Amino acid sequence: MDVQSIKQRFGIIGNSPDLNRAIEVAVQVAPTDLSVLITGESGTGKEIFPQIIHQHSSRKHGKYIAVNCGAIPEGTIDSELFGHEKGSFTGALADRKGYFEEADGGTIFLDEIGELPLSTQVRLLRVLETGEFIKVGSSKMLKTNVRVIAATNVHIPSAIEAGKFREDLYYRLNTVPILIQPLRNRPDDIYLLFRKFASDFAEKYRMPPIKLEDDARLLLTGFRWPGNVRQLKNITEQISIIERNRDISVQVLRNYLPEENKSNLPALIHEPHEKSFSSEREILYQVLFDMKKDTYDIRKDMNDLKKLVLDLLHEHGEEDLEEHAPIIRKLYQTEDGVITGKKGPTSIQIETLGKESILDTEEFVEESLSLEDKEIELIRKALEKHGGKRKFAAQELGISERTLYRKIKEYDIEE
């Protein structure tokens, strides 16, 4: 069967060489039982190719089951794919066959394979290598003879580096790769698809088909189409329903396209210098995250904060400090209005409040971090706040009045 007849059978529109090549590969691999991984952006029509492979294989009379892995909750994905035994978990009221058991002798299409949890990936790898699987809550090994085709819009090598996808599973699935090009790489197919969709919607809604003026056609074919074929179909349907004038001008078409028709070149991200700050908020975060936790003495907190700011002054250049002078004025004020450090004074002049310097020489005793001491302190504060009334103090502490009474006796707290 040639490529054109396959397009007609499965409703594929387009004549780009990449599209034709993808169809040819699908037909060539169909008679085998090799695993196939279909990659491409969302909306490119990846779901058509597993059907082509199944219908041209010796399994065409067996079951074809398509599973959207991203739509199944992580807690039930193993049960959905491999089945479960009665009572294996809450709600398992009866034995249930999974998709791999149901598809025995046929084909299973796992869409959005990149969304599978790692634990499920281990189970899937075993099925691919040996055909064996175990139901949830069972110890009995079962066998299945199923052809696995997977698809994803995730860049799997990046997911592997991030530890979200198993490398061995990727190579097992990717025996035969098929790449579906995005619509922006098939500009000649865009207008063909538009005409097909316009004709279909005209028939569906019993109205004349919409047509594009020349300028509108140029805009259509030059648009980036981040949602690919799915987005083109949706916009064609909107225009078909809403516009009374069936000749669509470029002004009308532009109303239906997203405003951000940017170049598809990746955005350049300028990495900040390792020791620079991009905002006043960032310098605060740097200070606060470096602080030692947890203390209830606000005066000691402030001294720690001041010390860390001084350390930052030593580490960062004067240019960074100039940029963030306002925030530094709030955190670090000296008697002479000049911030000083080991490297000498900077040129940042700050206001003097005429009060004590932010460098407080008072020493504070390190506070006890004992849970018992803290509990006693909180109980005393709650009793004091509510005038010794245990009922309200217990409510404030989130414990029962009986527990509060026991702890008062245990810690010998004076009421």
Question: CA 374, CA 382: separation in Å to the nearest integer?
Answer: 12
Better-scored residue on pLDDT, 284 or 195: 195
Question: Which of 111-140 are b and which e, b meaning 16 or more Cβ less than 10 Å from the residue's Cβ?
Answer: bbbbbbeeebbebbbebbeeeebbbbbbee
Pairing of strands 132-134, 141-143: antiparallel
Which residues lie closer than 8 Å to 237 by C-beta, 6 or more apart?
A: 197, 201
CA–CA distances in Å: residue 247 to residues 232, 320, 349, 369: 18, 58, 68, 77
**Residues 197, 234 contacting (CB under 8 angstroms):** no
Say what the pLDDT of residue 413 is.
Answer: 85
Say what the pLDDT of residue 337 is.
Answer: 47
Lowest model confidence (mean pLDDT) among 102-111, 239-248, 365-374, 403-412: 365-374
Better-scored residue on pLDDT, 390 or 364: 390
Q: What is 371-411's CATH number? A: 1.10.10
* Residue range 295-350, pLDDT digits in tens: 444 455 556 666 665 665 555 554 555 555 555 555 554 444 444 444 444 444 44
Lowest model confidence (mean pLDDT) among 161-170, 219-228, 237-246, 277-286: 277-286
Q: 133 — phi, psi (to 5°)?
A: -155, 165
Q: Could you say which of 3.30.450.20, 1.10.8.60, 1.10.10.60, 1.10.3720.10 is the CATH number of the domain covering 184-256?
A: 1.10.8.60
Give the confidence band of 396 by pLDDT, cuts at 50, 70, 90.
confident
Residue for token pair 């981040």: 226
Q: Name the β-bridge partners of 177.
A: 37
* Residue range 223-251, pLDDT digits in tens: 999 999 999 999 999 999 999 999 999 99
What value does the mean pLDDT take over residues 88-101? 91
Quote the tokens at residue 345.
Answer: 């004074």
Say what the pLDDT of residue 316 is.
Answer: 53
Checking if the pLDDT of 163 tops 80, the result is yes
Handedness of CA 100, 103, 105, 110 (dihedral sign): negative
What value does the mean pLDDT take over residues 126-138? 94
Question: CA 209, CA 197: separation in Å to the nearest integer?
Answer: 9
Question: CA 45, CA 196: separation in Å to the nearest integer?
Answer: 15
Say what the pLDDT of residue 225 is.
Answer: 96
Quote the tokens at residue 393.
Answer: 């103090």
Architecture (CATH level 2) of domain 3-179: 3-Layer(aba) Sandwich (3.40)
* Residue range 8-63, pLDDT digits in tens: 999 999 999 999 999 999 999 999 999 999 999 999 999 999 999 999 999 999 99
Question: CA 38, CA 245: separation in Å to the nearest integer?
Answer: 40
What value does the mean pLDDT take over residues 271-280? 43
**Residues 66, 47 contacting (CB under 8 angstroms):** yes
Say what the pLDDT of residue 378 is.
Answer: 86
Average pLDDT, the chain: 81
What value does the mean pLDDT take over residues 114-120? 95
Say what the pLDDT of residue 404 is.
Answer: 85
Alpha carbon of residue 354 to chain centroid: 52
Question: Which of 168-203 are b and which e, b meaning 16 or more Cβ less than 10 Å from the residue's Cβ?
Answer: ebbebbeebebebbbbbebeebbeebbbebbebbee
Say what the pLDDT of residue 286 is.
Answer: 52
Q: Where are the domains of the chain?
A: 3-179, 184-256, 275-366, 371-411
| Amino acid (1-letter code) at residue 110 | L
